[in-house]
Amino acid sequence: MDYVLKTNNLCKYYRHFKALNGLTMNVPKGAIYGFVGKNGAGKTTLIRLICGLQHPTSGDFELYGIKNTDKTISKSRRRMGAVVETPSIYLDMTAEENLKQQCRFLGTPSFDGVQDLLKLVGLENTGKKKAKNFSLGMKQRLGIAVALCGNPDFMILDEPINGLDPQGIIEIRELILKINREQQITVLISSHILDELSRLATHYGFIDSGKIIKEMSAQELEAACRKCVRMTVTDTKALARVLNSMNIEYQILDSTTADVYAKPNFTNLAIALSKEKCEVISIEEHDENLESFYVNLVGGANHE
């Protein structure tokens, strides 16, 4: 698998605070990578390092196979666009003027793609309206358009839907899907709004206390979060023997708890367990979502 970004044991310390503490992650080419973590977990710190706004204390990373210590890393960064924390726009300029200014900054010989970019982000009809009079969602879309000016292959978005109203969230979601699917741009999205992220991401990296505690694909997450019956019994070894005999899929969580991926005849199951001298303590339907998965994952992580 090709990776746009790979980090290796990346650390960033501020005096005695470990913002990143041995972070290793891999962003596949073509993915929408959901970078999941609570505020202060280290998401923005990583993004700032990748963008070259800060330098790591130790460890390294690669952009398109080029290490951050290589002199040619700046060429790899030219293939990247980013909206970090707040959109980088000129509030006293129109949307079109903002894009033309970015083209000048990048040394682009013409403004041929400006109108196409405005149309892509839904700002083609803003005319002479200045950015300071835009809604928050419009500003965010303009910030993304500015980041797209250099025709990047990789886009980094730091909390792109923070503070947006429902309509603004839908517009940003559709825009992210469009640039990923139609323009083949790999996207890294840092967010703590997990319900929305679950509508977008093809891959996930879960960060806590400055380190990745799990990486997985959307398919793997869906399998981990699928509906099941959670059973609490006095002996899961006995439960496993009975479920095996019934050819029922299950996962043992601990000595008393298991997830059963079917709805067996519980009368027959209880009788079979009784013969194994195993009692059923509780049965409940369990349907985990991304948010509860993350909470359970972080709750089970080792904190230093």
Q: Cα–chain-centroid distance for residue 101?
A: 30
98-141, pLDDT tens digit by residue?
A: 999 999 988 887 888 899 999 999 999 999 999 999 999 999 99
Q: Which amino acid is at 116?
A: D
For residue 111, the 8-state DSSP code is -
With bands split at pLDDT 50, 70 and 90, how would you rate the model's confidence at 222? confident
90-110, pLDDT tens digit by residue?
A: 999 999 999 999 999 888 878
Contacts of 82 (CB under 8 A, 6+ apart): 47, 51, 147, 155, 156, 157, 158
Measured distance CA(26)–CA(83) in Å, rounded: 20
Angle, helix 136-148 to helix 166-181, in steps of 10 degrees: 20
The DSSP-derived string for 224-281 is HT--EEEEEES-HHHHHHHHHHTT--EEE-SSSEEEESS---HHHHHHHHHHTT--EE
CA atoms within 13 A on the CB side of 8: 10
Residue with tokens 């339907």, as numbered in its chain: 285
249-259, pLDDT tens digit by residue?
A: 898 989 999 98
Q: Say what the pLDDT of residue 303 is.
A: 43
Q: Using alpha carbons, select from 251, 257, 268 the residue that is nearest to residue 231.
A: 257
With bands split at pLDDT 50, 70 and 90, how would you rate the model's confidence at 24? very high
The DSSP-derived string for 147-171 is HHTT--SEEEEESTTTT--HHHHHH
Contacts of 164 (CB under 8 A, 6+ apart): 136, 137, 140, 172
Mean pLDDT value across the chain: 90
pLDDT cut 90: percent of the chain above it: 68
Cβ atoms of 126 and 134 within 8 Å: the answer is yes
Q: Say what the pLDDT of residue 110 is.
A: 82
173-200, pLDDT tens digit by residue?
A: 999 999 999 999 999 999 878 888 889 9
Measured distance CA(225)–CA(204) in Å, rounded: 14
26-79, pLDDT tens digit by residue?
A: 999 999 999 998 888 899 999 999 999 999 999 999 999 999 999 999 989 989
Q: What is the dihedral of CA 7, 14, 188, 150, to 10 degrees?
A: -100
Cβ atoms of 160 and 187 within 8 Å: the answer is no
Q: Say what the pLDDT of residue 46 is.
A: 94
Greater pLDDT, 293 or 71: 71
Measured distance CA(30)–CA(43) in Å, rounded: 20
